[in-house]
Structure 1
Amino acid sequence: MRKLFPWTFPLIILLCAMKADGVWHTYAIHGYAQGTTYTITYYAQDSLVLRGEVEQVLAMIDSSMSLYKPYSLINKINNGEGTFRVDPHFGRVVRKSFEIYRRSGGLFDVTVAPLVRLWGFGAERIDHLPDSAAVQRARACVGMNRIRLRGTQLKKMQPCVQLDLNGIAQGYSVDVLAGLLESKGIGHYLVELGGELRVSGPKPDGTPMRIGIERPPKDDARYPVISEVLELRNGAVTTAGNYRKFVMDGERRISHHINPETGYPFHTGVISATVYAPDAMTADGYDNVFIAMPPAAAVALANRTANVEVYLIYQDDHGITRDTMSSGFGRLISNL
C-alpha cells in the first residue's frame, strides 16, 4: 500500500501506561492505514468499537483526500477544471486550511502541490533538482487566492491549480476517529495515527496521559532521545520535522517543506515543531507553519494564537541544537 500522507512524521513516542482498575477495561485497536500505523486505546466497560469501523472511516477519508488513490475526489479536482462538489470531510479540511493560511500570512498553503512534486516530494521521484525557470512556472499555479469554497462548491480559478492536503488531513483523520469513539459514549481514550495523536481523559485512575517528545538523534546514536514528557488530559499533539524526510543535493539537505511564496524549500534552522491544540487538525496545520518560521517568530505567533502552543528544536547560527517554547507549553510538561 502506498502512503497517503508520507510527510507527516511519527516523532512523538507514547509513554502512557494503559492499565485500568475495577469495571473499566482497556481496549486497543492496531492497524495500518494512510501509509503508516495507527493505535486506538480506550477505556470502557465493554468493547464498543470494531477495527472494521475504524478502517471504514479511514477508507472514506482516503477516497476524499488521498493523492495516492486514483479515484479520490482530490485527484478528480487536480485533474479537472472549474467547480466541484466536495464532501463534508473535504470541506472541513479546506475551511480550516483557509483559516491557517490567513493567520500564517500565506505560509500554510494547500495549493503547493506543483512545487512539492517539482522538488521530488510527491508520488513520483525525480532525478534532478528543478532550475529557477521550472520553479517560476510552478509558482504561477500556487496560491489559495486561486481557489474559492462556497458551501459545498469548490472552484479552481485556474486549471493548473492542484491541491495537497497532506499537511493537515492526517490530523483531521485523528479527529474523525476521536469522534467515532465519542459517538459510542467513550470519554477516555488515546488515538494515534502516524505520530499525530489526540487524547481524552484522564485515565480512569485519575492520572493524565504521558507523551514523550523525541529529540532528533545525533549521528552516532542508534535510538532517539526523549526531550520532554507531556502530561495531557485533553487535546491533541502533532509534530512536523525535517530530519527524516529530505533529499540531498551534494552535501546540502533539502527540506520537504516548500515556501509557497518563493517556490524553494524553507531554511529556518528549525528541526522539529511539536504543537498542542484542542484538536489534531489544528495542531497538524500549525506544525507546518511553525517549522517554516524562524524560532522567535514561531513562538511569537503561537503566543498570540488562542489555544495553540509550540515546542521547537532548532539549530542556532553556530550549529548548536537548542530548544524554545511558547509561554503556555511549559504547563504541559511533566515534572516527574
Structure 2
Amino acid sequence: MSLRYKNIIYSVILILAVFLVWKYRQSKQTPLVAFTGKTMGPITYNVKYFDKDTRNFKPQVDSLLRIFNQSMSTYIPESEISQFNRDTAFQFGLPFFYAVLQNSRELYGLTKGAFDPTVMPLVNAWGFGPEKRMKQDSSYIDSLRQIVGFDKIKFDGSMAWKEDPRVQLDFSASAKGYGVDVVADFLTEQGVEHLFVEIGGEVIAKGKNIQLNAPWRVGVLHPDSDEINQFYIAIASLEDRAMATSGNYFNYYVVDGVKYSHTISPFTGYPIIHPLLSATVFAEDCMTADGLATAFMVMGHEKAIEMLNENPNLDAYLIYTDADGELTTYATAGIKDKINPVK
C-alpha cells in the first residue's frame, strides 16, 4: 500500500473521529428539559425535549392545556363541547373544535362508522360518562342508537349545528391524542426539534433522543396489566411519529360476572365483546392514531387487519387471543422492525 493511500485512509479516519467527538459533545452540551403535570382531570402528562437554552415551557404548556380543556372536556359544564351538547348550534371560539370535527369526519368515513364521536348518549347509558348512570334496558339502548351517527353533525369553518338537540359529541376517543399534537406543535414553534410528548399513554416523538443518539423508546402495555401492576409486552422505537393505544384492561366494570368495557360499539349500542385486547396505531399525528386505535377496538382484530391490508399506509400493532385462547400479536410491515418484544 502506497504512502499516499495510507495518508488518505488516516485522514478519513481522523475526520470521522472528529465528527463523532463533535456529535458526542453536542449531545452532552444540549440539556434535556423534562417536566410532568396533570390535565383532563387526573390524567398525567410527560414532556421531554432538548434545548440549548434550557428553556422551561411548563407554565405555557399548563396554560395551553387548560384552554384546550375549555374546548374539549365534557366534564366542564361551560366548555365548548358541553355548550354544543346542550344547544342545537355553536359558534367556534377557540381553534380546537373545528380541527377535531374535521379529523372526526375523515376517520368516520375511513372506518365506515367504527369511529363515531356521537356515541356520548350510549357512553353515559353504560356508566362511563360524566353522568355516571347505567341503564341496560335493550329498548332504551335501541332508542339511543337512533341519535348516534356523525352524519347528524353539520359544520363549517365558523360553527357546528345539529337538527336533533339530543345528538351529543364526546371527543374522548381522540382528545388525548389531539392534546399531544397541540403541545408538540407549540414546542416546535419555539424552535424545539427533538421532543417527546405523552398524555395518558398517547405519544408523539420528533427528532431523536440525542443523549443516546437513538429514536425515542415507548413501551406497549401488556394486556394483563392493571392500574397498579403495569408491564410491557413490547418496546416501540419512535422518530417523527405518533403512537396511541386503546384497550379495555383498565376502564371497565363487572356486574353479575359480566365484564362491561368502556369501548361502546356505535353499531350495536353495547360494550364490545371480542378477542382484541389492545390496538396500538402509528401515524404522523397523534389525534389520528388515537382515533384509529379506538376504531380498531370497536371493529375487532379481524376487521382491523382487513382495513390495514386495504390501507397499507396505516401501521398498527394488535394484541388478541386466538381460537385456543393464546395471546397473539399482529404487526404491519411498516413497523415490524420498530417493535421489539419484551422477553
Query: 1:60 is matched with which residue: 53, 58, 67?
Result: 67
Query: 1:88 is matched with which residue: 82, 95, 99?
Result: 95
CA RMSD of aligned residues (A): 2.1
Deviation at 1:40, TM superposition (A): 0.5
Q: Classify the secondary structure of the residue corresponding to 2:287.
A: helix
2:45 is equivalent to residue 38 of structure 1: yes
Greater shift in the superposed pair: 45-54 or 279-288: 45-54
Asked if structure 2 preserves the Cα contact closer than 8 Å seen for 1:277 and 1:307, the reply is no
Equivalence for 2:188? 182
Distance, in Å, in 1 between the alignment partners of 2:199 and 2:136 is 33
Asked if structure 2 preserves the Cα contact closer than 8 Å seen for 1:87 and 1:152, the reply is no
Q: Classify the secondary structure of the residue corresponding to 2:292.
A: helix
Q: Classify the secondary structure of the residue corresponding to 1:229.
A: strand
Greater shift in the superposed pair: 201-210 or 246-255: 201-210
Q: Classify the secondary structure of the residue corresponding to 1:291.
A: helix
1:121-166, Cα deviation, whole Å (9 max, x unpaired): 001323x541111101211211111111111221112111110000
Q: Classify the secondary structure of the residue corresponding to 1:312.
A: strand
Query: 1:293 is matched with which residue: 289, 299, 316?
Result: 299
2:180 is equivalent to residue 166 of structure 1: no
Aligned-partner residue type, residue 280 of structure 1: C
| Contiguous gaps of at least 5 residues in structure 2 | 1-24
Asked if structure 1 preserves the Cα contact closer than 8 Å seen for 2:92 and 2:98, the reply is no
1:319 and 1:238, CA in 2 relative to 1: closer, same or farther beyond 3 A? same
1:82 and 1:33, CA in 2 relative to 1: closer, same or farther beyond 3 A? closer
1:218 and 1:47, CA in 2 relative to 1: closer, same or farther beyond 3 A? closer
Structure with greater contact order relative to length (CA < 8 Å, sep ≥ 6): 1
2:263 is equivalent to residue 260 of structure 1: no
Q: Classify the secondary structure of the residue corresponding to 2:174.
A: helix
Deviation at 1:48, TM superposition (A): 2.6
Equivalence for 1:235? 241
Asked if structure 1 preserves the Cα contact closer than 8 Å seen for 2:234 and 2:341, the reply is no
Deviation at 1:83, TM superposition (A): 4.9
Aligned-partner residue type, residue 195 of structure 1: G
Asked if structure 2 preserves the Cα contact closer than 8 Å seen for 1:64 and 1:74, the reply is yes
Equivalence for 1:99? 106
Asked if structure 2 preserves the Cα contact closer than 8 Å seen for 1:33 and 1:58, the reply is yes
Asked if structure 1 preserves the Cα contact closer than 8 Å seen for 2:319 and 2:327, the reply is yes
Aligned-partner residue type, residue 117 of structure 1: N
1:290-320, Cα deviation, whole Å (9 max, x unpaired): 1112313212212333542111111223332
Equivalence for 1:70? 77
Give percent identity, aligned residues only: 34
Distance, in Å, in 2 between the alignment partners of 1:158 and 1:218 is 41
Equivalence for 1:7? none
2:150 is equivalent to residue 122 of structure 1: no
Q: Classify the secondary structure of the residue corresponding to 1:87.
A: coil
1:63-107, Cα deviation, whole Å (9 max, x unpaired): 101011111011101011245335321110111001000010101
Aligned-partner residue type, residue 178 of structure 1: A
1:236-257, Cα deviation, whole Å (9 max, x unpaired): 1111011111121311111111
Greater Rg over alpha carbons, structure:
2
2:216 is equivalent to residue 209 of structure 1: yes
Distance, in Å, in 2 between the alignment partners of 1:139 and 1:20 is 57
1:47 and 1:249, CA in 2 relative to 1: closer, same or farther beyond 3 A? same
2:137 is equivalent to residue 131 of structure 1: yes
Aligned-partner residue type, residue 189 of structure 1: L
| Contiguous gaps of at least 5 residues in structure 1 | 1-18
Asked if structure 2 preserves the Cα contact closer than 8 Å seen for 1:86 and 1:154, the reply is no
